[in-house]
Chain A
Amino acid sequence: MPTATKTVAVTGNQAVAEALRQINPDVVPAYPITPSTDIVQRFSEFVNNGEVDTEMILVESEHSAMSAAIGASAAGGRVATATSSQGMALMWEMLFIASGYRLPIFMALVNRALSAPLNIHGDHSDGMGMRDSGWIQLWSENAQEAYDNMVMAPRIAEHMDVRLPIIVCLDGFIISHSIESMKYLPDEEVKKFVGEFAQLNPLLDTDNPKSIGALVLPDYYMEHKRAQHEAMLKVKKVVQDVSAEFAKLSGRKYEIFETYRLEDAEVVLVSLNSAAGTIKDEIDRYRDKGIKAGLLKPRLFRPFPYEEVGAALKNAKAVCVMDRADSFGGYGPMFMEIASALYPHKGPVLFNKIYGLGGRDLMPLDVDQVIDETVEVAKTGKVKMVKEYITVRN
């Protein structure tokens, strides 16, 4: 029986802050940045009001925030933080150290465009930019998913088969600053679900001194990286198990990716995060007109579940991959993953749309244009342009 929950109308940032309060981390080092500021601000109120036991460390930059997170986690603490955009970019050097040390830090990434030009609004450039840093990535469509993913994050990161840092992504402003109705779990249930954390070789265990961050030359560096790769391979199963346990608690089921009316779909859109909601509504309209449209929405993006995604998409006739980030000179970052997932199959015709950069809205009519084109591609088997910007001035 799912436990009794409370329905609230809150912003995405509020929901994430609430999850962090319920998890009650030992240490939160943070340097606030728009649009994630509100998470840190609210959490600092929880600290001030004694609602959590957390030691909050206010630092002078995001590089220092991640450095402090690494130190605190290596010392033995359960550690969380939050950032966006330029903050994530400034953390970059330290992200690899967190994953290389196998520290299960969890972080909210409120997705925002990168400068220049300066822009504070939502796109996925920051999340895609750190995609190869060895962190697990969960992406969230709305406030509910962001909250749920954050509650699950420590369990995934701290699992003994994994012990890797994890990031929970949600769209800046579109989700972080919008109020939506959602359900909170009771404090006690979250506390029980996340359980206690015990660091494997804590530095504060001074009876057993050890060193972290030693120089590793060509003799052993590659074994370390191989071990990280092996740990990543085990993440999928852990995410599935933790999500199944979470479903029992909450009544909300999460897979490693979500499929929407995909079973018999001939034309398929692939999209992350908030745009997926708008796309679902339009898919319903096209289904009413007799067009077999469907959606695949990745949730676990690192590690990417290539085999499962390939199997889910292989029977479609045409797939349009919607990227809210670009890899300049390459295809969109998600397109590259979907193409990789489909390479063993005689699969659908694939093409790529770049949309929504710097917070540009994706309206239902924009989605309709993409579905119309995908229908056309399914019919003719021909793609005019593999990668194209949409909702953009000529």
Chain B
Amino acid sequence: MGELMEIRWHGRGGQGTVTAAKVLADACLSGGRHVQAFPEYGPERAGAPLRAYNRISQNPLRMHCPVVNPMVVAVVDASLLDAIDVADGATDDAVFVINTSKDPKDIRAKLKAKPSQKVYTVDASKIAIETIGRPLPNSTMLGAVNKATGIVSMEVLLADVQGSFGKKFAQKIIDGNLAAVKRGYEEVQLG
């Protein structure tokens, strides 16, 4: 992994994509790294496609513009694969992490991924229903992205997911999300 990692998240409004990018940034502060997390502000309504970005680096981050050549592309809603080109601008060694029940090989073909690019899939919506009780795939995706990138230790990530809920949520919801992160990490598959 180089000095700078750039991540692009694709999701739909209401799925917690922006929150996922924020939690990842917070977790990546460990080890004195510099972080950025920012969404692209569009119509801001439930269901509308949105993008969010992360930059993580050993060096201070000065760039203030969207990521155009992501090293990691996380797709929180598989229906976006038919709507937009999520692979646009991805680096030759990019890692894709897609929330889908489909086989990673099918998704690899759909994305027309280069042999040098890696495609991971995880059924994050199903895991979310089983752990949280609602199809909110962001926590599962965080675990899956972390498995695919190894960007931060799971202990730190889990602690930050817990911290992100603050005191406003019931313990049951927090426990569900922590379980979702762990299952995303364990169940993500490389195609």
Contacts and interface: CB of A to CB of B under 8 A. Distances in A.
Interface of A: 7-9, 120-121, 142, 171, 173-175, 177-181, 274-275, 277-278, 280-281, 359, 361-364
A277 B26 CA distance: 21
B66 interface: yes
B62 A179 contact: no
Contact of A361 (B25, B39, B66): B66
Contacts of A174: 38, 64
Contacts of A181: 25, 29, 33-36, 61
Contacts of A178: 36-38, 64
B22 interface: yes
B170 to A, nearest CB: 21
22 contacts: A7-B29, A7-B32, A142-B62, A174-B38, A175-B64, A177-B41, A178-B38, A179-B21, A179-B22, A180-B34, A180-B61, A181-B36, A275-B64, A277-B61, A277-B62, A277-B63, A277-B64, A278-B63, A281-B62, A359-B41, A363-B66, A364-B63
Nearest to B57: A181
B68 interface: yes
B65 interface: yes
B62 A9 contact: no
Given A121-B41, A177-B39, A281 B63 contact: yes
Contact of B25 (A7, A9, A177, A280): A9
A179 B41 contact: no
B71 to A, nearest CB: 16
A280 B26 contact: no
Interface string B52-75: 000000000111111010000000
A304 B55 CA distance: 34
Interface pairs A-B: 10 shortest CB-CB: A277-B62, A178-B38, A274-B64, A179-B37, A9-B26, A181-B35, A9-B25, A277-B64, A181-B34, A280-B62
Contacts of B22: 9, 179
A275 B26 CA distance: 24
A179 B64 contact: no
A170 to B, nearest CB: 11
Contacts of A278: 62-65
A363 B38 contact: no
A121 B34 CA distance: 25
Interface residues of B, number: 21
B37 to A, nearest CB: 4
Interface in B11-25: 21-22, 25
Contacts of B36: 178-181
Interface of B: 21-22, 25-26, 29, 32-39, 41, 61-66, 68
Contacts of A120: 41
A177 B39 CA distance: 8
A131 to B, nearest CB: 23
A120 B36 CA distance: 22
Contacts of B37: 9, 178-179
A369 to B, nearest CB: 14
B38 to A, nearest CB: 4
Contacts of B29: 7-9, 181
Given A177-B39, A179-B22, A181-B29, A363 B34 contact: no
Contacts of A175: 64
Contacts of B33: 181
Given A179-B38, A181-B25, A277-B61, 8 more contacts: A174-B64, A179-B37, A180-B36, A181-B29, A181-B61, A278-B65, A361-B66, A364-B65
Contacts of A281: 62-63
A180 B55 CA distance: 9
Given A175-B64, A274-B64, A278-B62, A180 B41 contact: no
A174 B38 CA distance: 8
Contacts of A363: 65-66, 68
Contacts of A364: 63, 65
A363 to B, nearest CB: 5
Nearest to A277: B62
Contacts of B61: 180-181, 277
B93 to A, nearest CB: 20
Nearest to B44: A120
Query: Of A171, A177, A178, which is in contact with the most chain B CB atoms at under 10 Å from its CB?
Result: A178
A150 B29 CA distance: 24
Query: Of B21, B38, B68, which is in contact with the most chain A CB atoms at under 10 Å from its CB?
Result: B38
A142 B25 CA distance: 16
Contacts of B26: 9, 179
A177 B36 CA distance: 11
A305 B173 CA distance: 55
Contacts of A274: 64
A121 B35 CA distance: 22
A227 B25 CA distance: 49
Contacts of A277: 61-64
